[in-house]
Amino acid sequence: MDFETIPGVGEKTAAALAELDDAERALTDGDV
């Protein structure tokens, strides 16, 4: 998933999300 295509997500946030085991769940559940 290309996190930088999400509105409001920049390079640093995208890099941090890429390190998560389940980044999509974190995004949909509002953990970030």
Which residues have CB under 8 Å from 26's CB, separation 6+? 17, 20, 32
At a CB cut-off of 8 Å and minimum separation 6, what does 13 contact?
3, 32
Q: For residue 27, what pLDDT is reported? A: 82
Answer whether 12's CB lies under 8 Å from 19's CB: no
Q: Does this model's pTM top 0.75?
A: no
Query: Which residue matches tokens 């980044």?
Result: 23
- What are the tens digits of pLDDT across the range 4-27? 998 989 999 999 989 998 988 888
